[in-house]
Amino acid sequence: MLAKKRSELALKRTVDAHSKSESRFEDKMSALMFGIDSTSLSQSYRQLPRTMGYLSQNMHGHTFKGYNRVQDNTFMNVYALLTGKPVVEDVGISMYRFFDDDPLMFKWFRQDQFVTAYYEDYKLGSTFNWLKRGFHYKPTDHYFRPFSVAVEKDDPHAWTSDFCYMDKGTHIWLGDWTRSFAKQYAKLKSPYFLWSYTTLLAHEEGNLMGKGDAYYYELFQEMHKSGSLNNTVLVFFSDHGYRYGGLRATKIGQNEENHPMMTWVFPEWFEQKYKSQMDTFKLNVENRLTTPFDVHRTVLEFANGAVDSATREGMSNFGSSLFEPISERRTCEQAGIPDHFCGCREPTEYPLTDILSVKAAQAVVDRLNKINEVAKGKCLIYKVDKVIQSYRQNRHDLTDGNIVEMSVTVRVMPSDAQFSATVHVYLDDSLPPAVKGISRVSLYGSSADCVDDFRLRRYCTCKPEFL
């Protein structure tokens, strides 16, 4: 009851705020956000050539060239996109609370009488339920989760082993529901906000994504030709690139991880009617550094009062509308991208045994051991086994000549886990090296099952007696 009362109070606040501003556009446009997990821009071209070709050539989509993630994993980047705010690492998200009161994007559309829907295929590993509590109350008018829960009860292996249920892949179930939803509400001429996100197709193995190319090509072709998207902004996106395995261990893989796919499609009449705004939009997506914060801010442009409501919840410090000019000199810091995830660096390969590489690697291991102290003795204590890669980042915006930014990949023992990190090393040793971010680049599987914190699992390798 207390959570419900808080939600009602938050609803009243946003309704009051909603009356204070209007949408940038006089036409009521639906928003369809269609996501595939762990897909970089380059990966989308490699694995979904027919789909990406149709979106670009037939639907005149706009693919972002400088789109950069802002945090590490799916939850963090999706949360940033849906709220316009980052997940604060030091505070984090407690697995013991629900997300009903969080300022998620679909709330602001609901205030403006949009029909809302939240579809996600993976029951166990869904964004707000993996090692977290999810929602106490149904978060949108249409909610896919009860179906995925029922499927797993009927066939426990459907969503976890072969990624199929009955005669369909999980991505097809989700896509068919999305198609049906868009078609129905187009007929009713009712504006909607739909979040449709598939995890299982690409999360475990990036090359499996190609199995979805023919289906997605047919899906978008049918929706386009049927007129289902005549009053809809389609956003085809991902959270980040592939995060584990052989590709991720390379410099190209690290770069791809930072640059997820992001393509927007507008109806032809919309682009003609709002030519000035679209000219600015095109310039931004083709030639500017952009982030999930910007996407969040821009999607809100399509609902009356949404920008004001979200600003009240703290969004104003992050993100810029893509319908307004973004500086060509925008830096990662200005865009809200931490050093570790910035894709605008110029790396130079560095000797693995050089003192800067060694110092950076040791700082990473020390930081990992410090983080793992939260598990109270359940995690192995790491030591540096080998520096696998080392790069010196050429930072034109780093004014302190005493700081060298290093990017290192370290294998630790006794677990053989691999971590990539960004470290600021002080040349005169006046301060200890500062670790600016750590990503795990080797799969941890069940090796972290002794901890239930979704953040800690990336860093911990459990001692055998706790498994």
Domain boundaries of the chain, sorted by first residue: 2-341, 347-466
Q: Can you give the pLDDT at residue 6?
A: 43
Task: Give, rounded to a whole angstrom, the gap between the first and last alpha carbons of the chain.
Answer: 38
- Is the predicted pLDDT of residue 122 greater than 80, yes or no? no
Does position 169 have pLDDT exceeding 90, yes or no? no
Helices 292-299, 74-83: axis angle to 10 degrees equals: 30
Distance CA 169, CA 165 (A): 6
Q: Assign domain 347-466 to its CATH architecture.
A: Roll (3.10)
Least confident range of 95-104, 139-148, 181-190, 334-343:
95-104
What angle in degrees, to the nearest 10, is found between the helix axes of 170-188 and 213-226?
A: 10
Mean pLDDT for 90-116 is: 85
Q: Residue 46 corresponds to which tokens in the numbers above?
A: 């490699």
Would you say 54 and 217 are in contact if contact means Cβ atoms under 8 Å apart? yes
* Exposed e or buried b per residue across 228-254, where buried means at least 16 C-beta atoms within 10 angstroms of its C-beta: bbebbbbbbbbbbbbbbeebbbeeebb
Q: Rounded to the nearest 5 degrees, what angle is found at the Cα of 245, between the Cα atoms of 239 and 246?
A: 120
- At 206 the pLDDT is 64
Query: Which of 38-47, 59-68, 127-136, 353-362 is predicted least confidently?
Result: 127-136
Q: C-alpha distances in angstroms, 315 versus 28, 87, 310, 329?
A: 23, 12, 6, 22
- Collapsing DSSP to helix, strand or coil, 206 comes out as helix
> How high is the pLDDT of residue 252?
73
Which alpha helices (DSSP H) does 259-312 contain, by range? 268-273, 275-287, 292-299, 306-312
Q: Which of 13-27, 35-49, 80-94, 396-410 has the highest mean pLDDT?
A: 35-49
- Tokens in use for 366? 């020390």
* Fold designation for 2-341: Alkaline Phosphatase, subunit A (3.40.720)
As beta bridge partners, residue 404 has: 425
Q: How confident is the model at residue 208 (pLDDT cuts 50, 70, 90)?
A: confident
Check pLDDT > 70 for residue 165: yes
Q: Is the pTM of this model over 0.75?
A: yes
428 burial class (0-12, 13-18, 19+ CB within 10 angstroms)? exposed
Instruction: Identify the weakest region by mean pLDDT among 138-152, 247-261, 293-307, 347-361.
Output: 247-261
Interatomic CA distance for residues 302 and 113, integer angstroms: 12
Contact partners, residue 227, CB within 8 Å, separation at least 6: 186
Distance of CA 268 to the CA centre of its chain: 28
Query: Is the per-residue pLDDT at 88 higher than 80?
Result: no
Sheet holding 434-440, edge to edge: 347-349, 383-393, 403-413, 418-426, 434-440
Which range (65-69, 89-93, 200-204, 444-448) has the least confidence? 89-93
- The predicted structure's pLDDT at residue 107: 95
- pLDDT for 114 equals 98
Residue 273 has what DSSP assignment? H
Contact call for residues 27 and 231 (beta carbons, < 8 A): yes
Average pLDDT over residues 397-409: 90
- Angle (deg, nearest 10), helices 213-226 and 49-57: 20
